[in-house]
C-alpha cells in the first residue's frame, strides 16, 4: 500500500479530524477536576520538596503528563462533547493510565475488544466515531475504519508522526528501518505498519547481534547457514514479511519508539553508524546509513530529571505509571541501575492498608512488601510516567504522609 498517499487522502477527508474541535474551554473544567492537583502545582513552584514529620518527599524536576498526552486526553473529551449522541470507540487505551481510561469508560467511550491478542472491529459501524490514541494506530486499522465509513479523531502525538515520517523516508530511499522498540507495543506496531522493510531491536544486545551479522558478511562472504538461521529465528517475529538479512542490511536507517531509554537509543544509533562505516568505508557511509533524531523531548526530560533525582540521598523511590507504560518502566530501570529500592505502582491504591505496598518489580509479577516504609526519618523520591495525571501523584503523596504517621 502507498501509505503516504493514503495518509494524504485521509487528511482531506471530512470524516477525519486531527486538530480537535475548538472546545478547549468547554472541557478545561472537567480535565482540571479529573487530573490536576493543587498540592502538586504548589510543589512544582516550591522546589519540588515536601517535608511532613519524619517524611521528606522529593519530586523529580520533570514528571507526569507530557504535552502529547494532555493533547490526546483533551481531544478525547472534546470528541464526547462534539458527538454527544454518537457511538464512540477507541482503538486502544488512549494512554497507558488506568484512571484516565476509566474516566473515558465513564463517558461511554467503548474500547475495541481484543480476543487472543487480535482486535475485533466487527461491532464498529458506519457513522460511528473512532478515536485513535496518542501512540497512534496501524495504517491497516485506519484503512479499515475509513472503508467502513467511520469518523476518525486522530490524537496521535506529533512526535510519533515524526517517527512515521522518518520510516517513510527510509522506505522512499529503499533503506531498511531499524526500529528500537518493543515489538508488541502499539506505537511500534503502528510505526512498522508505515515502514517498508523493517527490523525491530529491543535493546543494545539485539542491536549488537544485527551489527555482528552485518560485519560477518563483509568482503562478500556469505555467513554460514546456521548463523543465518539463528538470526531468522531470533527476529522472525520482529521483521517485515520476507525479510532477508543478507539483502536487507545493506542500507539501514534507525528510528525508535519515542519512549525508549534515550541513552540506549543513542548508543544503538552510534553502533549502526560505526558498523556501516566499518563494513562499507567512511566515504560510503551516507549511502548505507541514514542518521535519525526521533527521541521525544518529554521522554528525554523525564529521564534526565530521573538521573538527577537518583543522585540525591534517597531511602527509596516510588515510580508511578501504568505497568504497560514503556516510559515509566525506563524510569524504574534508572532507579534500579543506581541500586535504589524502587517501587513501580500503577495506582495509589497499591499503597496500604497498613504499612504495605503491592508493586511490580522489573520484569516480574506483582509482589507485596510489608513493612514498606522503614522506621525513622525517611526520604522518598517520586516520579511518574508521561501518562500519569498529577492527581494520582497527589494521592500517592497523601498516602505516604498518612503511613509515615503510624
**Contacts with ligand SF4, residue ranges (CB under 6 A):** 66-69, 134, 157, 159-160, 258-259, 296, 298-299, 327, 386
Report the residue number, 185 or 391, with the smaller CB distance to ligand SF4: 185
Q: Using CA atoms, how far apart are residues 164 and 156, in angstroms rounded to an integer?
A: 11
* Cα atoms in the Cβ-side hemisphere of radius 13 Å centred on 226: 0
Q: How far is the CB of 96 from ligand SF4 (least distance, A)?
A: 10
Q: How far is the CB of 65 from ligand SF4 (least distance, A)?
A: 8
Q: Using CA atoms, how far apart are residues 296 and 159, in angstroms rounded to an integer?
A: 6
233 has catalytic annotation = no
Q: Using CA atoms, how far apart are residues 298 and 277, in angstroms rounded to an integer?
A: 31
Report the residue number, 96 or 288, with the smaller CB distance to ligand SF4: 96
Q: How far is the CB of 302 from ligand SF4 (least distance, A)?
A: 8
- Note if the bond before 371 is cis, omega within 30 degrees: yes
CA distances from 88 to 22, 76, 91, 265 (A): 18, 10, 10, 36
Report the residue number, 43 or 69, with the smaller CB distance to ligand SF4: 69
How many residues are there in the chain?
A: 406
Catalytic pick from 93, 187, 206, 333? 187
Using CB positions, name the residue nearest to ligand SF4: 68
Q: How far is the CB of 67 from ligand SF4 (least distance, A)?
A: 5
Report the residue number, 73 or 378, with the smaller CB distance to ligand SF4: 73
Residues 6+ apart with CB under 8 A from 50: 43, 56, 57, 59, 397
Q: Using CA atoms, how far apart are residues 332 and 382, in angstroms rounded to an integer?
A: 11
Report the residue number, 97 or 177, with the smaller CB distance to ligand SF4: 97
* Cα atoms in the Cβ-side hemisphere of radius 13 Å centred on 94: 31
Q: How far is the CB of 119 from ligand SF4 (least distance, A)?
A: 21
Annotated active-site positions, please?
187
Amino acid at each position: 500500500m502507498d501509505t503516504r498517499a493514503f495518509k494524504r487522502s485521509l487528511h482531506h477527508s471530512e470524516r477525519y479530524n486531527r486538530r480537535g474541535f475548538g472546545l478547549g474551554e468547554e472541557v478545561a473544567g472537567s480535565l482540571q477536576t479529573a487530573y490536576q492537583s493543587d498540592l502538586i502545582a504548589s510543589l512544582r513552584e516550591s522546589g519540588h520538596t515536601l517535608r511532613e514529620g519524619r517524611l521528606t518527599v522529593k519530586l523529580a524536576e520533570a514528571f507526569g503528563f507530557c504535552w502529547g498526552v494532555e493533547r490526546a486526553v483533551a481531544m478525547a473529551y472534546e470528541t464526547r462533547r462534539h458527538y454527544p449522541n454518537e457511538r464512540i470507540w477507541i482503538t486502544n487505551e488512549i494512554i497507558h493510565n488506568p484512571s484516565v481510561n476509566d474516566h473515558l469508560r465513564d463517558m461511554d467511550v467503548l474500547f475495541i475488544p481484543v480476543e487472543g491478542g487480535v482486535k475485533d472491529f466487527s461491532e464498529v459501524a458506519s457513522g460511528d466515531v473512532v478515536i485513535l490514541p496518542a501512540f497512534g494506530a496501524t495504517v491497516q486499522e485506519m484503512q479499515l475504519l475509513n472503508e467502513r465509513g467511520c469518523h476518525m479523531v486522530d490524537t496521535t502525538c506529533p512526535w510519533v508522526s515524526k517517527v512515521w515520517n522518518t520510516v517513510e523516508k527510509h522506505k522512499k530511499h529503499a533503506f531498511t528501518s531499524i526500529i528500537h522498540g518493543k515489538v508488541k507495543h502499539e506505537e511500534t506496531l503502528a510505526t512498522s505498519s508505515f515502514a517498508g522493510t523493517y527490523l525491530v531491536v529491543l535493546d543494545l544486545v539485539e542491536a549488537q547481534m544485527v551489527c555482528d551479522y552485518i560485519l560477518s558478511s563483509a568482503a562478500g562472504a556469505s555467513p554460514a547457514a546456521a548463523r543465518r538461521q539463528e538470526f531468522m529465528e531470533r527476529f522472525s517475529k520482529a521483521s517485515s514479511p520476507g525479510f532477508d538479512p543478507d539483502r536487507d542490511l545493506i542500507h539501514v536507517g534507525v528510528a525508535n519508539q519515542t519512549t525508549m531509554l534515550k541513552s540506549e537509543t543513542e548508543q544503538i544509533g552510534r553502533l549502526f553508524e560505526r558498523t556501516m562505516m566499518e563494513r562499507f568505508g567512511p566515504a560510503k557511509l551516507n549511502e548505507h546509513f541514514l542518521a535519525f533524531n526521533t527521541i521525544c523531548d518529554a521522554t528525554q526530560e523525564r529521564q534526565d530529571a530521573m538521573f538527577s533525582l537518583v543522585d540525591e540521598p534517597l531511602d527509596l523511590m516510588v515510580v508511578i505509571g501504568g505497568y504497560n507504560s514503556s516510559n515509566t518502566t525506563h524510569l524504574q530501570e534508572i532507579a534500579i541501575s543506581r541500586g535504589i529500592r524502587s517501587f513501580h505502582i500503577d495506582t495509589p491504591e497499591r499503597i496500604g492498608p497498613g504499612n504495605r505496598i503491592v508493586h511490580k518489580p522489573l520484569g516480574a509479577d506483582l509482589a507485596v512488601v510489608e513493612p514498606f516504609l522503614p522506621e525513622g526519618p525517611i526520604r522518598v523520591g517520586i516520579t511518574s510516567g508521561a501518562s500519569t495525571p498529577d492527581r494520582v501523584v497527589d494521592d500517592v503523596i497523601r498516602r505516604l504522609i498518612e503511613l509515615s504517621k503510624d
